[in-house]
Chain A
Amino acid sequence: MGKNKVAVVGIGQTRHQATRGDVSMGGLVREAALEALADAEMTWADIDAVVIGKAPDFFEGVMMPELYLADALGAVGKPMLRVHTAGSVGGSTALVAASLVQAGIHQRVLTVAYEKQSESEAMWALTLPIPFSPPLVAGAGGYFAPHIRAYMRRSGAPDHIGVLVALKDRQNAWKNPKAHLHEENLSFESVKDSMMLWDPLRYSETCPSSDGACAMVLTDEAGGDAAADPAWMLGGAMRSEPTMFPGRDQVNPQGGRDCAADVYRQAGITDPRRDIDVAEVYVPFSWYEPMWLENLGFAEEGSGWKLVEEGATAMDGDIPWNCSGGVLSSNPIGASGMIRFAEAALQVRGRAGEHQIDGARVALGHAYGGGSQFFAMWAVGSEKPTS
């Protein structure tokens, strides 16, 4: 039995910022959902089901908040699912929503992801326990910095690569009015001279903590055919692996490679650098751009940093990554993955505004979470897939 085709016909995002004290959690998700509905030229009544995702409930102090948000999201009397797959959740949530359409169960699904990080201090929640070790309480940066060091040692990448990534993404953010960070007086020196937080990660190479939400309306083939500028889903996949096991490669995890291979197979992508026009990839710390360039098959192992240095991932490069400014410029954690998926769809719809890549036809959206162990990805295109 073949899957039904899925189209993205509506996309909405909040204005992301450090504290959205002007809205409740319900107000935050509605801001994104209403924009997505307006984009899709739909109302709440047109929606068959709601799939919501966010990272840990402790971030806002609300247990299973979908129960409280059912009213705000027009879900009363409808099916409502709540996904949580760590940092990859925004992507996984979109994929679960898509599966409802692929399975032929629903025609129009609203999917929403959010985080209101100003309600708490994410640093504590993001300190994963490491077996047989005292708790570091060093947050995600403390967890990932040693793996970045391992990457630098393996690849021989020079120290300034991370600075280049951060500079590029923060410059791109100026073209995205929704982005959280619009840094004044941004320069190579300003990034390089920022405080060292977790060697080799500097303050300016680290994602912010944001309040924000993202929403999409997904439809079946008929809905996509009726839309002016749909993005068509070409492939999607999730992969998970344990945090720790002997021999695990945390720099270039098997789960990420397998997930990408699955998406590429579905989408008919054989050479990602050639076949994909633009990518929105989850890069919360600068160095994850060269690491994921290799993990996702855009570069040979050990040479991802060379693409960064050449400017290949800049907006005027041959494979622009994170034209929206990426996670380095906006990070409402639970929504960050869905923002990647949505930004990929915006590009192939030609609706990314100032950060649009002209003529983008195939785009990749990527999210990861946990200790580089949960992966969710999709490929979207401007043309309806034939199979």
Chain B
Amino acid sequence: MRDVAVVAFAQSHHVRREQQRNEVEMVMPVLHQVKADAGLDQSQIDFTCSGSTDYLAGSAFSFVMTLDGVGASPPISESHVEMDGAWALYEAWVKIQTGAADTALVYAYGKSSPGDLRSVLTRQLDPYFQAPLWPDSVAMAALQARACIEAGVTSVEEMAEVAARSRRSAADNPYAYLQGSDDPAVLLKEPEIAAPLRKHDCAPITDGAAAIILAAGDRAREISDAPAWIRGIDHRIDAHGIGLRDLTVAASARLAAEKAGVGAGPVDVAELHAPFTHQEVLVRSALGLGDGVSVNPSGGPLAANPMIAAGLIRIGEAAGRISRGEAGRAVAHATSGPCLQQNLVCVLEGSNT
């Protein structure tokens, strides 16, 4: 395998509702920023890959218009996944592994605010047996949370602690949307919105975008003084139906973590894409992260969760900790689908480890 590193990361200031700018206007400043940080123009980028979903944009081929933000003239080698940007990064990493590219631009965006996200996400379900019932994403997560509590995997008290810790950490993150939190005891006095979930257990609906530049070997060292090297990356998918799998373990996250080599060394920081508090507990366990690991110091998805970009942001945030020398070894995680159906795990290290 070639050594590939994250050499630049940029993200938008995430908001509840981006009303002034369309998708291309939202993504363009982020693309300009990440290229400026890397000191590259588009002609120096060998491969470009993006992630988006038409169901958020409300139009078919929505990625076609955001290509206008890239500067794809003269024509570029480019691809797109209808998935979180973390999987776009995976495709770009594979492309670099083939030797056909030394540098890659990855970007993703999600503007969830124009539609009713809970309804929109029901369209992600089995169209014959589940989607006609319109079970919304929060209700399904609540079923999972209930199963986890009954299995002794977590408790509403622990979940409230996850929420408070995440949003307090977000106070140090200028890009986060929700910053600061009441004490867990106060949070637990709030009413349930889908038992056992309370509002604080759920990620906020967020609009935002993010971009990363990858580079291989010496090219990475030329671009960055402190590249965050990808030491392992893997993704796996579970059965779709929530009745077909044990909701109290994230089996595909565990498998991806094994394949990515999370356990091969100590982990300083983990950025986990867990849009519900109980899911952080589940993913932490699936990845085998001990109590000493700093989880979601950025605030994580509970502080800002622009769908489709949020997984990519986890990789960017983890890489940032490495590049700033705040961590020697970091783990980033991304998820997709109902109740953690699909999971990606990426292990990053600095140059000295």
Flag if A86 contacts B64 (CB, 8 Å). yes
Say yes or no: A68 contacts B63, CB within 8 Å: no
B73 touches A64 (CB 8 A): no
Alpha-carbon distance between A62 and B73 when the two chains are bound, in angstroms: 33
Q: How far is the CA of A253 from the CA of B83 in the complex (A)?
A: 28
B64, B76, B128: the one contacting A370 at CB < 8 Å is B64
In-complex Cβ contact of A103 among B59, B83, B94, B342 (8 A):
B94
A83 in contact (CB, < 8 A): yes
A238 touches which one: B53, B77, B121, B237 (CB < 8 A)?
A: B77
Q: Is the CB of B336 within 8 A of A128?
A: no
Contacts of A70 in B (CB 8 A): 237-240, 341-342
Q: How far is the CB of B263 from chain A (nearest CB, A)?
A: 19
Q: How far, in whole Å, are A51 and B195 apart by their CA atoms in the complex?
A: 37
User: B260 CB to closest chain A CB, in angstroms?
Assistant: 11
**Contacting A105 at CB < 8 Å: which of B63, B67, B97, B99?**
B97
A238 engages B60 (CB within 8 Å): no
Check B63 against A84 for contact (C-beta < 8 Å): yes
Q: Could you say which residues of chain B place their CB within 8 Å of the CB of A58?
A: 54-55, 60
Q: Is B337 an interface residue, CB under 8 A from the partner? A: yes
Measured CB to CB, the nearest residue on chain A to B90 is A81
Q: Does the CB pair B78–A240 fall under 8 Å?
A: yes
Q: Is the CB of B83 within 8 A of A68?
A: no
Chain A to chain B contacts (Cβ below 8 Å), 17 pairs: A57-B54, A58-B54, A58-B55, A59-B60, A64-B53, A64-B55, A67-B341, A68-B124, A77-B255, A83-B81, A84-B81, A96-B79, A99-B94, A238-B79, A239-B76, A239-B77, A242-B67
Interface contact B99-A68, CB-CB below 8 Å: no
Interface: B244 (CB within 8 A): yes
A145 at the interface (CB under 8 A from B): no
Known contacts A64-B337, A96-B91, A79 near B123 by CB under 8 Å? no
Closest-by-CB residue of B relative to A126 is B60
Tell me, yes or no, whether B127 is within 8 Å of chain A by CB. Answer: yes
Given A82-B81, A103-B98, A254-B75, residue A68 in contact with residue B55 (CB < 8 A)? no
Whole-angstrom distance between the alpha carbons of A248 and B72 in the complex?
Answer: 12
The smallest C-beta distance from A232 to any residue of chain B, in angstroms, reads 16
How far apart sit A191 and B67, CA to CA, in the bound complex (Å)?
38
The answer to whether B74 touches A57 (Cβ under 8 A) is: no
How many pairs of A and B residues are in contact by the CB < 8 Å rule? Answer: 181
Q: Is the CB of B79 within 8 A of A64?
A: no
Residues A241 and B75 in contact in the complex (CB < 8 Å), given A2-B99, A125-B60, A370-B61:
yes
User: How far is the CB of B241 from the nearest CB of chain A, in Å?
Assistant: 7
B residues less than 8 Å from A92 (CB atoms): 79
Given A70-B341, A76-B239, A370-B64, 16 more A-B residue pairs with CB atoms under 8 Å apart are A60-B127, A63-B54, A63-B123, A63-B124, A65-B127, A67-B338, A71-B239, A77-B251, A84-B63, A96-B91, A102-B98, A103-B94, A129-B65, A239-B77, A240-B75, A240-B77
Q: A46-89: which residues lie under 8 A (CB-CB) from chain B?
A: 55-71, 75-86
CA distance A91 to B33 in the complex (A): 32
State A116–B220 Cα separation when bound (angstroms).
Answer: 43
Contact A24 B83 (CB under 8 A): no
Nearest opposing residue in chain A for B344, CB measure: A79
Contact, CB under 8 Å: B82 / A84 = yes
B183 located at the interface, meaning its Cβ lies under 8 Å from any Cβ of chain A in the complex: no
What are the interface flags for B41-64 relative to A under an 8 Å C-beta threshold, 1 for contact and 0 otherwise? Answer: 000000010000111000111011
Kindly identify, within residues 96 to 117 of chain A, every residue whose CB is under 8 Å from any CB belonging to chain B: 96, 99-100, 102-105
Closest residue of chain A to B120 (Cβ to Cβ) is A63
Q: What mask results when residues 114 to 130 of chain B are scored 1 for a CB within 8 Å of chain A, else 0?
A: 00000011011111100
Chain B minimum-CB-distance residue to A244: B68
Closest B residue to A106 by beta carbon equals B94
Q: Is the CB of B74 within 8 A of A258?
A: yes
- Whether the Cβ atoms of B128 and A258 lie closer than 8 Å is no
Majority secondary structure of chain A interface residues (helix, strand, loop or mixed): loop
Q: Are A79 and B236 in contact (CB under 8 A)?
A: yes
Taking a contact as CB atoms closer than 8 A, the residue among A65, A76, A96, A371 that contacts B237 in the complex is A76
> Are the CB atoms of B76 and A77 closer together than 8 Å?
no
Contact (Cβ within 8 A) A80 B125: no
Contact B75 A63 (CB under 8 A): no
* A152 interfacial contact with B, CB 8 Å: no
Q: Is the CB of B235 within 8 A of A64?
A: no
With a cutoff of 8 Å between Cβ atoms, the chain B residues found around residue A270 in the complex are none
**Chain A residues in 8 Å Cβ range of B87:** 81-82
Interface residues in B149-176 (C-beta closer than 8 Å to A)? none
Q: How far is the CB of A126 from chain B (nearest CB, A)?
A: 8
Contact partner, B83, options A59, A81, A125, Cβ 8 Å: A81
Instruction: Output the nearest chain A residue to B58 by Cβ-Cβ distance.
Output: A58
Q: How far is the CB of A90 from chain B (nearest CB, A)?
A: 13
Task: Tell me which residues across on chain A come within 8 A of B72, comparing CB atoms.
Answer: 240-242
Taking the nearest CB of chain A, how far is it from the CB of B16, in angstroms? 22
**Cα A164 to Cα B265 with chains together (Å):** 66
Q: Does A308 contact B (CB under 8 A)?
A: no
Docked complex Cα distance between A242 and B69 (Å): 9
Select from chain B the residue with minimum beta-carbon distance to A76.
Answer: B239
Q: Is A161 an interface residue (CB 8 A)?
A: no
Cα of A341 to Cα of B72 in the assembled complex, Å: 25
Instruction: Determine if A1 is an interface residue (Cβ-Cβ < 8 Å).
Output: yes
Does A338 interact with chain B (Cβ within 8 Å)? no
Complex alpha-carbon distance, A370 and B55, angstroms: 18
Partner of A62, one of B2, B127, B244: B127
Is B100's beta carbon under 8 Å from chain A?
yes
Q: Is the C-beta of A43 less than 8 angstroms from some C-beta in chain B? A: no
Taken together as a complex, chains A and B put the C-alpha atoms of A55 and B62 apart, in Å, by 11
Q: Determine which residue in B68, B73, B235 has the highest number of CB atoms from chain A within 10 A of its CB, and name it.
A: B73
Query: In the bound complex, how far is the Cα of B74 from the Cα of A254, in angstroms?
Result: 8
